[in-house]
A and B are shown apart, each in its own frame.
Chain A
């Protein structure tokens, strides 16, 4: 449609804002990256020189190997368990109408609507009382809450779009339940399972609040360790904190890029859309 001058100016200002936002975002990430390689940086645009040594320092000082192992354990366990619990639950929710289904749906929806900081405090209380607080298992359990419900809600429409007659047809041709599951359902559901589990993976790496509230000294994930490092800034050189931030950033963004091959960026936020 041809546009008037007013509309053009409006469009221009909107694009200027988008550009400004992205510019600042890039500069913000860029300054962390530059600082993590910089030697001395004082009153200049760029550091005096560049060195990779901050990464070595961060690696040892922050016990990054231990933290990374914990992160992998937590994320791996959360992804596998939430898939094992969430996918069958989604299948049942999509295929059956049963008494109390609305209530079950509400139960699955609530943890995604209530922010983790709100339910995290009572959850941590319960975990500490059962002596699970501060342990790896406690961290995994806490992280499973949003993940299980997320996988379930994401998979329900995915199961629904598979025609139940496909399953009936398989049964008519004599496939047993197990066979049908392995040969018919899993291949059809695989793209959805992959997408939802990748999203769970990215979300769990970045999940600060729940891990923070339930983790002990030996069960911190990368993001919580980063928080404590920033919190205690001044104890260690800023560059080594930024080096750790870069490690965190790379870990997250690699998985984000992989996930975005299977899902649309808007799906990451539209979890609560009904």
Chain B
């Protein structure tokens, strides 16, 4: 049958466009209207400052220490937190993958993720406060003379990012590690490689692409920390993170243009860090982490 004989309907069908394809339309419209459009709108709005030229907001951000230091303050929290979570996750996941029934453990670890940062913050305020169980225990064993200050400072935010971030990083790492064919490690053992060498020479190179994605997601989550920075940190001082700057601009100063500019800068830093992490991935092998028929 030549193309001329086909109806329009049939020709569209040939290209994959028919009634079924239309089912995707509501979803696409929805995301376009509530995600893509606001993002573009925010970008444009950020160039329409209340005062100053097109780049007024950005010039203001980078000239006021109270604003531009939020980027470094956030990085000083987010980078170590991400690193700690990653460094803890890999050995734990390596061990847990050998368990026959890891389900109970993964269920326990998914709880802090599900409860969320607000609930963890409230729990930490009670548990880590000067009269909380942790300080009582430390003093009971005479490890410290007076309560350690773990909340309303940098460490409070850092700890909350580990409590919610470690399980997230761990579960993601675990799912990547269990995707590696166990017979590869057995093959390494049969060829004389000890556990340490098997990890560095076989597991880690195969895990690297997954770890890059895990690192990127963990970093992005830590970089946009908000409730714990306010509730557990010192929001006027060392834990005045970039989210706080954005929120203040929008809902305390009602300067949506400035708030959008801060949000755009937030996104820009994320894009730079994620692009950097994913480019590292290119240095490693990227293909299926299993062998089997080619």
Contacts and interface: CB of A to CB of B under 8 A. Distances in A.
Q: Do chains A and B touch in the complex (CB under 8 A)?
A: yes
Interface of A: 1, 3, 7, 10-11, 14-15, 17-18, 21-22, 24-25, 27-32, 35, 41-43, 45, 85-86, 88-89, 91-93, 95-99, 104, 107-108, 110-111, 113-119, 121-126, 128, 141-142, 144-145, 148-149, 152, 202, 206-209, 212-213, 223, 226-227, 230-231, 233, 238, 241-242, 245, 248-249, 252-253, 256, 260, 264-266, 268-270, 272-273
B220 to A, nearest CB: 5
Give the interface SS of chain A, mostly helix, strand, loop or mixed.
helix
A144 B52 CA distance: 36
B58 interface: no
B53 interface: no
13 contacts: A17-B92, A22-B109, A28-B128, A107-B28, A107-B31, A115-B270, A121-B260, A122-B42, A122-B260, A125-B42, A128-B256, A212-B227, A230-B121
Contacts of B18: 96
Contacts of A17: 88, 92
Given A27-B127, A89-B24, 18 more contacts: A17-B88, A18-B92, A25-B108, A98-B15, A114-B270, A121-B262, A122-B260, A124-B250, A125-B256, A213-B247, A227-B227, A238-B126, A245-B123, A260-B107, A260-B110, A265-B110, A266-B106, A269-B110
B281 interface: no
A1 B189 CA distance: 10
Given A1-B189, A117-B224, A265 B126 contact: no
Nearest to A207: B116
Interface string B37-50: 11101110100000
Contact of B115 (A114, A230, A252, A264): A252
A116 B195 CA distance: 41
B91 interface: yes
B27 interface: yes
B136 interface: yes
Contacts of B220: 113-115
Nearest to B246: A121
A241 to B, nearest CB: 7
B65 interface: no
Contacts of B163: 24-25, 28
A226 B118 contact: yes
B284 interface: no
A260 B22 CA distance: 33
B5 to A, nearest CB: 22
Given A28-B127, A117-B224, A91 B34 contact: no
B118 A148 contact: no
A265 B118 contact: no
A226 B35 CA distance: 27
Contact of A117 (B92, B121, B243): B243
- Residue in B106, B107, B117, B126 with the greatest tally of chain A CB atoms within 10 Å: B126
Contacts of B154: none
